[in-house]
Amino acid sequence: MLGRLSPLLVVLVAAGCFGGGGSSVAATKGESLVLAQSDVGKDFTQFDKGKQRLADLTPPRDKPDRFGRKGGWKARFSRPGSHKTQGPLVISSLADLFGSAKGARDDFALYRDALGQFVSTGGRPIAAPDLGDESYAITYRQGVAPNAVRYYVIAWRDGSVSASLNMNGFEGRFSREQALELARMQDERIRAAAS
């Protein structure tokens, strides 16, 4: 499920076609749709990369060919830290390319449904402005001080791409603004690939 972050994070480099929002780019590299090492900084280790595999697909978004999906990519990073470390410790960046904006809209609806389950169990929705054509985000906390962990999960759709970031860091050291900054970086990559 989206809220479950594995300590192992993954990144991808692949090729595909990109169409959405009235524009298309042939042979767009999948790596351009997810965060890169330069986005997160040298303190992070990118320790797994490649196309999304079946193990990366979780219900309700677990069918590789759902809604005319053409492919999916991932970029995952981690860094060591203590309860005094500022910012995220684990970042999972995903992007899925669809044959149409409608396919991405339908996929985004599944993201909303999955994230809504976290809200019903103690998470809370947060605003995620200026991301794609539509967005939805939640935050929740696990554990107790001083080692409580704050999670942010942000999903959005931009044209024929659905994307998400799942991040965590220590409570009081990782803010909504830091999470949104990373999401905006990824969205800029998606928009640049479409232009």
**Is residue 187 over pLDDT 60?**
yes
Strand partners, 126: 137
Full-model pTM: 0.84
pLDDT band at 195 (very low <50, low <70, confident <90, very high): confident
What are the DSSP calls for 34-49, one per residue?
Answer: S--HHHH-TTSEEEEE
Residue 84 φ then ψ, to 5°: -100, -5
Tell me what the pLDDT averaged over the chain comes to.
85
Q: What is the pLDDT of residues 19-48, one digit of tens each?
A: 333 333 333 478 899 999 999 999 999 988
- What does the domain layout of the chain look like in residue ranges? 15-194
Q: What is the pLDDT of residues 48-107, one digit of tens each?
A: 877 999 999 999 999 999 999 999 999 999 999 988 899 999 999 999 999 999 999 999
What are the DSSP calls for 86-120, one per residue?
Answer: -S-SEEEEEEEEESSHHHHHHHHHHHHHHHHHHHH
Question: 15-194: which CATH architecture?
Answer: 3-Layer(aba) Sandwich (3.40)
Q: What is the pLDDT of residues 123-139, one digit of tens each?
A: 999 999 889 999 999 99
